[in-house]
Every structure is written in structure tokens, then in C-alpha cells.
Amino acid sequence: MTRASTGIPGLDDTIDGLRIGDNVVWQVDSVADFQAVAAPFVARARADGRRLVYLSFGVRPPLLEDLDDVEVHVLDPSVGFERFAIATHELLAAIGPLGFYVVDPLTDLHRAWHSDLMVLNFFKATCPYLFELDTIAYFPLLRNRHSYATVAGIRETTQVLLDLHRIDDALYVHPLKVWQRHSPTMFFPHRLAGGQALSITSSAATTQLFSSLARRVEPPDVWQRTVEDAWNALDSDAADPDAAGSDAAREAARQTLLGVLVGGRGRMAELCRRELRLVDLLAVASRLIGTGRIGGKALGGLLARAILEQAGPDPASGLGPGGFAGRLEPHDSFFIGSDVFVGFLVANGWWRDWTAHRQDD
């Protein structure tokens, strides 16, 4: 059987049903709206005897209220993109073909990676593999939380992209992409009501619908927001060092930047956690090309410099009060984030070849 159902008869009629291999991305305003369309999909798949799988990122309570006959797998994105993506692919391979998936919001990956690019890279690396495994997967994407480039990349990769809006307590679905299917009214907005999808074809009704939607402004990049928040924490601490919470905010910002630029594991990470100040990390972030971790040699140089600058006086070497502080030449290095290389691999379709090569080593 090559077809399946959304669980909403009217929506099946609108998009000519689902096909085995479809990745279905729902762009939504809230998780509750996604739950309203995921529940009938799961109920119909359960009734049809499908293998149901829920992939959680461990950030929020389960999206599905009824987990009977649903395999639940919790994946940890905080381990970093590469380990997370490999673990996901290994899990998909172990589950095998013909699984029906519901996945936590892709937007939740921001919390661990602070990079919109890596959200896109994860989807572009995973979506084709799910297609090869003859699965159907539901992915929610929170609206106004991703850049135009990320949404465009997801649209290019997925088989089905549906825009879901709630207006005056009514749900409207607007198909934006439905791969290899077409009908005269497929790409019109539809109102979901009682299992039906009522096409809105008149220009007056369509104008009224879309005038109810706020004009979208591209949100600031998640990495830019992270860096700006760190600068704000540093500035607030400098303006009022005794302010309640200023130290905590500065330390939280430092730990966030350490996690992105250095990583959270290993001896080098421990040294960086001990020696690098927030201002040091912000200096790196301001000269970072792309996003992600910087290289080991560059990190070693920064760490050595930080240790010297914070060293005390050494009479044996002739260093008086202040040690090396102010004696080192300023550096003007730029840094290339690891996400740039990962994006290069994914964009060229080499991600699985790369991971297989790494595992062989």
C-alpha cells in the first residue's frame, strides 16, 4: 500500500492523501495547534495497524496524550550535532521501514545548538533517509522562529509543507507544497471543521482570512540573539556590578557560549571553562564566520593567551605586577565555525558518506 491518511478526511481529499515516504512539515503558531492535527493522524495509523514512533528531544512534555502502542525514543541534542544526527540515523535504521513518526518541534533544537543553520542541516540529512525507509513523519515548525533561508530549505527538502493558522478559534490549513500531487483548489486555504476541509476560493474570503494574520517580519537569527543576550549580560554587569542577578546572568551567558564555541566535554573544555572569561568568548563570537565550534589549534592558542594574561607577577622572569597583561600583541584572528563544514557536507549530499568514513576510522 503506497497511500495513507492524515486522519482528517477533508484534508485527505484536499491533498490527495499521504504517500509512503512523505515527510510532512506543519508550520504552526503553537504546539497545541499541531497536536490538533497530529492526534487524528496517530489515531488513524493505530487503527490501520501501523508502527507508531514518537521522537522526543527531551525539551517538553510528550506531544501525544495517548501513547498506547507508540514507541517513545528520547534523543539528546545537547551532545552536539554530529553525535545527535548519527544517533538519530542509527535509531531509524534499527526501527526499519514503514514507521509512522511524530517528531518534537524542530524549533526545540535551537535550545541546544543556538543555530538555525544546524536545524536545517539536521532536517536535510534526516528527511531523505526517512523517505528511503518508506516512512511517514510529522514535523512541527514554530512560525516566526526561523529565518526565511531555513524555511525555504525545509520547503525544498520536504515532500509536504502545510501552513496551519488558528483564527477566532478556527483552524485553517494552507498547503504550500504537496509533492507530485495537484488539484485545482489544492493550494487554496481551507478551513478545518468536523473532519472536513472547506476550500476558501472567493477573493473576498481569502482577503479577509489573510488580513487577520499579522504581517510577518523575519526574526533575528538565533545565534545573533544569543550573542546579543551575552553582550547585554556583560554590559549590565559592568553598569551595576552589585545588581542582583548580574553575576548569574553573566555566568549563564558564559556557559552558553562555551557550549557552542568549545563544547561541553573533555579536558580542553574543562580548561576553557576555568580560564576563559565572558569577554574572551564574546571576542571570538564577534569574529566567527558561521556558527559552531572553533578548531582545536585556534582554541589552544586562545587558551594559552588567556592563561598568560591572567597570570600573576613572576619575579624570576622579571614580570612585575600585572604579569603578562598588556604585554601581549593584540590578535586579529577570524574563526570558522564547524557548522560551515557540516553545512558543506549536507548541501552536497555527503553527510552519510562522511559519518560512515568516521565510523570506519
How far apart CA 68 and CA 64 sit, in angstroms, is 10
Average pLDDT for residues 271-290, to the nearest whole number?
94
pLDDT band at 243 (very low <50, low <70, confident <90, very high): low
The predicted structure's pLDDT at residue 265: 74
Query: Which neighbouring-strand residues pair with 102?
Result: 54, 138
The predicted structure's pLDDT at residue 240: 58
236-245, 276-285, 328-337: the lowest-pLDDT one:
236-245
Q: What is the pLDDT of residues 55-67, one digit of tens each?
A: 999 999 999 999 9
pLDDT band at 1 (very low <50, low <70, confident <90, very high): low
How far lies 284's CA from each of 49, 52, 291, 339, in Å? 53, 44, 11, 15
Is the pLDDT at 321 greater than 60? The verdict is no
pLDDT band at 245 (very low <50, low <70, confident <90, very high): low
Q: Kindly state the percentage of the chain with pLDDT values over 70.
A: 89
The distance of Cα 60 from the centroid of its chain, to the nearest Å, equals 14
Average pLDDT for residues 203-225, to the nearest whole number?
74
How far apart CA 334 and CA 357 sit, in angstroms, is 29
Distance linking the first and last C-alpha atoms of the chain: 40
How far lies 195's CA from each of 11, 12, 17, 83, 189, in Å? 8, 10, 14, 41, 15
Closest of 92, 96, 5, 3 to residue 45, by C-alpha: 5
Domains for the chain: give ranges and CATH numbers: 3-211 (3.40.50.300), 222-286+295-336 (no CATH)
Q: What is the pLDDT of residues 103-119, one digit of tens each?
A: 999 999 999 999 999 99
H/E segment holding residue 284 = helix 278-285
Q: Which long-range contacts (CB under 8 A, 24 or more apart) does 229-236 make?
A: 229/253, 230/254, 230/256, 230/257, 230/278, 230/281, 230/282, 230/285, 231/282, 233/278, 234/278, 234/279, 234/282
Q: What is the pLDDT of residues 161-196, one digit of tens each?
A: 999 999 888 999 999 999 999 988 899 999 999 999
Is the pLDDT at 279 greater than 90? The verdict is yes
59: left (phi over 0), alpha (psi -120 to 50) or beta: alpha
pLDDT band at 314 (very low <50, low <70, confident <90, very high): low
Contact 119, 155 (CB under 8 A): no
The predicted structure's pLDDT at residue 54: 99
The predicted structure's pLDDT at residue 214: 57
What's phi and psi for 167, nearest 5 deg? -130, 125
Is the pLDDT at 336 greater than 90? The verdict is yes
Arithmetic mean of pLDDT over the chain: 90
Average pLDDT for residues 293-297, to the nearest whole number?
89
